[in-house]
DNA sequence: ACGATCGCTTTACATTGTCAAGAGGCAGGA
DNA sequence: TCCTGCCTCTTGACAATGTAAAGCGATCGT
């Protein structure tokens, strides 16, 4: 039983996504909440297995029981985060369905950055701890699937004639730009720039200015 | 002597930059080389203090002797990397001095992600391990200084009339886009996209396509 | 010649991640 | 009813880690 625990959970669900929350024993959920809270302050890769257990009020071996290993625990948080990301992006796309095409692109990219700032621990686990996910292709697939929503939106806006140019390149531009903003914002590395006010997290206005400039410039 | 070792080194040099290589005892240099090699495969935050010492053929306490702590060791790698980044960006800017304005922007941004792919351990230490640098404002300042070259270039190109629009926003666009590409490329997260060939590291052509599209669209 | 500093090791200790072996409870079947 | 198995979780142990303190030889300034 090296990592069968989460592997089983990951392949049992109906969709690829509902792996994390699926069958939630109270202990398991408490551990994930503790991990999230600690990782939000220290970064995922700096939280310890036993620290999480202590914070959740359980014995030091509880995490390995549920997740198989420390990496398994982080993977579980990543899956939970992908589910969350998918949900939030879906409701945002619904909400903005009647906006003009380019506005929908702006909104979607902003929503991605907002997700990273709302759930920094999840964001970290999903996109910035690939070492913990090495050899787990299910996470790779889930990660890619979560981005398909944005890809589809780009194609839709392109088909409607609101933008032109190569669809995949536009998609890559939006992905990398959003990821860059989110990463820098979460790490507090955007603080030193002009026009970026200090504060707990980067204001949405700055994010919006960057993304809006980007989208407005699309061919 | 909590962290006086590197703090002393960091404030002794003539410039802010030459902190890492400055006074290099052979042991210290060997440790940094070992750290770089190990971090290039495992990621900075997954390499252990004793592992580095072993790899360098020294006793397990050698790193703390030179760097004060594990975090100090990572900070030292970050400073070394900033020096390196500054150098490489400078020679690139000289080399491209006679190119048209927008080409210089493209080249500079590409040089940044090339740096990240050439020196993933340094890139990681500089921009993606802020927890290790917490409370060390000298690293913050050095990080920002390293980006001033790009900012100056943007201002120059703007002054020459090759681009218009808000300079700081353009600068932020280029920074966040480059950082996003570099981060995803280093973590191997760009592999699953269409148009991105598989391989050890993302080909420069893809990077160029994204950045070139970005720059071409600037107002 | 001699103390001080540099470069590094040895020893020691608290803490971590992981494994094996349970303990207690709840379900279902005989 | 009792037995069996599973599910949740603990206890105990072990190797490995990060950090601190003390020490040891060489080199250097005085």
Domain boundaries, chain A: 4-216
B95-117 pLDDT per residue, tens: 999 999 899 999 999 999 999 99
pLDDT value of residue A199: 66
How much of chain B, in percent, has pLDDT values that exceed 90? 67
Chain A: nearest CA to B97, how far in angstroms? 25
Q: Which residue has the higher pLDDT, B209 or B53?
A: B53
Rounded CA separation A145/A177 (Å): 19
Chain B: nearest CA to A113, how far in angstroms? 12
- Whether B80 shows a pLDDT value over 50: the answer reads yes
Neighboring chain A residues of B184 at a CB cutoff of 8 Å: 175-176, 179
Average pLDDT, stretch B198-206?
A: 72
| The token pair that represents B181 in the structure block | 């590409």
Rounded CA separation B77/B123 (Å): 9
Average pLDDT, stretch A98-124?
A: 95
Sequential DSSP letters for A130-149 = TTTTTT-HHHHHHHHHHHHH
Neighboring chain A residues of B175 at a CB cutoff of 8 Å: 180, 184, 193
Among A42-56, A203-217, B26-40, the least confident range: A203-217
- Whether A203 shows a pLDDT value over 50: the answer reads yes
pLDDT band at A98 (very low <50, low <70, confident <90, very high): very high
Average pLDDT, stretch B194-214?
A: 78
How much of chain B, in percent, has pLDDT values that exceed 70? 87
pLDDT band at A194 (very low <50, low <70, confident <90, very high): confident
Among A75-84, B42-51, B203-212, the least confident range: B203-212
Rounded CA separation A114/A88 (Å): 10
Whether chain B has a CB inside 8 Å of the CB on A192: the answer is yes
Q: Which residue has the higher pLDDT, B197 or B27?
A: B27
Rounded CA separation A65/A53 (Å): 11
Among B37-41, B78-82, B138-142, the least confident range: B138-142
- Whether B13 shows a pLDDT value over 70: the answer reads no
Distance measured from the CA of protein residue A25 to the C1' of nucleotide D6, in angstroms: 14
Whether chain A has a CB inside 8 Å of the CB on B197: the answer is no
Whether chain A has a CB inside 8 Å of the CB on B123: the answer is no
The CATH fold assigned to A4-216 is: Tetracycline Repressor; domain 2 (1.10.357)
Average pLDDT, stretch A65-77?
A: 97
- Whether B16 shows a pLDDT value over 70: the answer reads no
pLDDT value of residue B23: 65
pLDDT value of residue B27: 92
Count of beta carbons in the 10 Å neighbourhood of residue B188: 15
Whether chain B has a CB inside 8 Å of the CB on A42: the answer is yes
Tokens 């681009």 correspond to B163
- In this complex, the residue with its CA at the shortest distance from the C1' of nucleotide C9 is B59
Query: How many residue pairs from chains A and B have C-beta atoms closer than 8 A?
Result: 117
Rounded CA separation A171/B188 (Å): 17
pLDDT value of residue B110: 96
DSSP state of A193: S
Average pLDDT, stretch B165-190?
A: 93
pLDDT band at A5 (very low <50, low <70, confident <90, very high): very low
- Whether A133 shows a pLDDT value over 50: the answer reads yes
Residue of B nearest to A165 (CA): B213
> From the list B169, B184, B209, which residue is nearest A210 (CB)?
B169
Average pLDDT, stretch B157-184?
A: 93
Chain B: nearest CA to A177, how far in angstroms? 4
Backbone φ, ψ for residue B144 (5° rounding): -70, -40
Residues A25, A28, A31, A36, CA torsion sign: negative
pLDDT band at A151 (very low <50, low <70, confident <90, very high): very high
pLDDT band at A1 (very low <50, low <70, confident <90, very high): very low
Q: Which residue has the higher pLDDT, B205 or B140?
A: B140
């Amino acid at each position: 039983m090296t990592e069968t625990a989460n592997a089983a959970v990951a392949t049992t669900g109906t969709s690829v996504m509902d792996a994390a929350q699926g069958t939630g024993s109270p202990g398991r959920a408490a551990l994930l909440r503790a991990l999230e809270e600690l990782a939000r302050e220290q970064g995922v890769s700096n939280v310890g297995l036993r620290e999480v257990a202590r914070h959740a009020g359980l014995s030091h071996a509880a995490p390995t029981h549920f997740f198989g290993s420390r990496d398994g625990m982080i993977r579980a948080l990543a899956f939970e985060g992908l589910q969350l990301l998918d949900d939030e992006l879906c409701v945002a796309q619904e909400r903005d369905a009647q906006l003009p095409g380019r506005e929908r692109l702006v909104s979607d990219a902003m929503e991605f950055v907002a997700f990273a700032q709302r759930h920094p621990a999840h964001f970290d686990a999903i996109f910035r701890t690939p070492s913990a996910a090495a050899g787990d292709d299910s996470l790779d697939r889930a990660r890619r699937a979560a981005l398909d929503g944005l890809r589809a939106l780009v194609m839709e806006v392109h088909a409607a004639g609101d933008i032109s140019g190569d669809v995949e390149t536009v998609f890559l531009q939006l992905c990398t730009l959003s990821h860059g903003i989110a990463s820098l914002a979460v790490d507090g590395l955007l603080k030193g720039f002009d026009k970026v006010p200090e504060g707990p997290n980067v204001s949405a206005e700055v994010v919006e200015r960057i993304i809006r400039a980007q989208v407005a410039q699309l061919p």
